[in-house]
Amino acid sequence: MNHASRRIRLIMDLRNSGVTDTAVLSAMERIPRENFVEESFLDQAWANRALPIRCGQTISQPLVVGLMTQALALTDRMRVLEIGTGSGYQAAILSRLCRRLYTIERHRDLLAMAETRFTAMSLHNITTLAGDGWKGWPRQAPFERILVTAAARVVPQELVAQLSDDGGVLVLPVGDASLEDQMVVRVTKSAGKLSSEQLFPVRFVPLVEGVSKESVY
């Protein structure tokens, strides 16, 4: 089965599993996941599973990508912050759904590879930063939406502070990465007040403070 056939099957599976937002499904169908996986896993590029990438990180399971993206309720006028660029796959999908995406990655080598992919795919509305995801990107705040693609022990208050006060939404996995108790949480900020809801259980790598100095090359 070729990539096109596998892509069609995956999109159908996602729809049947709760990803019902047609804009999200369209973005996921248009972004070639095979561009973001390691060469040794190309045959699994369109499988509904997380796959390892460099620096001990992963490219998330498509179902989780779809559900978390859907939970943001994006429009094409929004400014969005992503914490954890990784391979760039989630960022590429978000870029198809918002006006401007800002994405932070602590591993400089991962970020460089993601930037190469963004350029090759002509994704020109993505701005990148090698930095500490716990701190967010204060100079570019506020953001209408923030998505975190690693598990935080608690909801980072620095990110909450960078949310728009007019219905800003933060979606992130919360929980101890060493235990099977992570939960995707959606935090909404309006008129200085916060509300939160638990969405679904997940397993993510931990959100680590600081910027990595290691190289994978």
pLDDT band with cut points at 50, 70 and 90 for residue 190: very high
Domain limits, the chain: 64-201
The residues annotated as belonging to the active site are 60
Class of domain 64-201: alpha beta
48 φ, ψ (degrees, to nearest 5): -85, 70
The answer to pTM > 0.75 is: yes
Average of per-residue pLDDT across 22-41: 96
pLDDT digits (tens, 9 = 90+) for 80-103: 999 999 999 999 999 999 999 999
pLDDT recorded at residue 214: 54
Q: At what angle do helices 62-72 and 22-30 cross, to 10 degrees?
A: 130
Q: Look up residue 60 and give its two tokens.
A: 């998330």
